[in-house]
Every structure is written in structure tokens, then in C-alpha cells.
Amino acid sequence: SEARRQKEVIVTAVLQPGEYVDIDFSRTQLIKRSIRGSVLKQSKFQGCDMSGCEIEDCVFAECDLGSVNLNGATLRNVSFNGCDLQQGAFSAVRLSAVRISQCNVSRSVFAEAVASDCRLESSELTHVSMSGAKWSGSEFEGVEMSESIWTDAASINCSFSASVMARVSGEGARFEN
């Protein structure tokens, strides 16, 4: 159909470096794509399947990524500013130098995620599953993480300044400095 063809043209364009505003990627399949050097503002990725993607040197500002699937994706030097990431699927994701600022990431799953040198600030991560996740050299500043699950997770050389971790389940979790 014409609408599908137009959406594919937009997807192809965004896979090229540039700035994009107010684009709707809801329920789009972007599986195993490579996205580099893009700035995406006020765009919608609700239910978008980005599993296995490589995303590098990108900024997502005020985007709706509710129920996004980033399972098995690799994110390097990526910023999420003022985004809705609720109910996101981040299992086995690889995060390096990722910044999450003023975002709602509640009810998301980071099972078996591996993250290094990340910064999470002034964000909500309540009811999040971090089971088996490995975080190293990361900063959690002013992050609300109540009622989250950290079973068998590891946090090595991470800081949790002004963050709240009330009613957290963490059997087998390791927090080392």
C-alpha cells in the first residue's frame, strides 16, 4: 500500500544521520537495523520492534518509546531525554555510555542486560526487572527504583546518589565498589 511505502521511505531516511522531528514509528519493525548519528525529537516508537539493532551516537528527546522492544540491541553513546520508556523490553541489551535523563522507564525488563559507564538521572524505574543484569561504572542519580527486582544482578563500581530503592527484591544480587 501507499502508506506502507511512505513509512519505509521514512525508515530508510532515519537510518541515515540527521535530525528528525515528530515521526511516527509505532509498531514498525526495525529488527537488526543500524541507526547512527540521528537526533530524534518528539517522535513515537510505541510497540516498535528494534530488537537486535545497533544504535550509536543518537539522541532521543521527548519521544514516546512505550512498549518498545530493544531485546538484544546494542546502544553506544545514546541519550534519552524526557522520554517515556514504560514497559520496554531491554533483555540482553548491551548499553555503553548511555544516558537516561528525566525519563519514565517503569515496568520495563532489563533481564541479563550488560551496562557500562551509563548515567541515569532524575528518572523513574519503579517495578523494573533487573534480574541477572550486570551494571559497571554507572551512576544512578535521583532515580526512583522502588519495588524493582535485582535478583542475581550485579552492580560494580556504581553510585546511587539521592536514589530510592525501597521494597527491592534482590536475592543473590551483588553491589560492589
The pLDDT of residue 158 is: 95
CA distance 46 to 51: 14
Specify the DSSP class assigned to residue 56: E
Q: pLDDT at residue 171 above 70?
A: yes
Q: What is each CA distance from 82 to 61, 63, 104, 136, 145, in whole angstroms? A: 6, 7, 8, 24, 17
Quickly list DSSP for 26-44.
Answer: TT-B-TT-EEESEEEES-B
Residue 94 DSSP symbol? E
Residue 138 has pLDDT above 90, yes or no: yes
Under 8 Å between Cβ of 115 and 98: yes
Residue-averaged pLDDT of the chain: 92
What CA–CA distance (Å, rounded) separates 16 from 31? 16
Q: What is the mean pLDDT of residues 124-137?
A: 97
> pTM of the full predicted structure?
0.92
Mean pLDDT value of segment 114-132? 97
The helix, strand and coil proportions of the chain, stated in percent and rounded to the nearest 5, come to 5, 40, 55
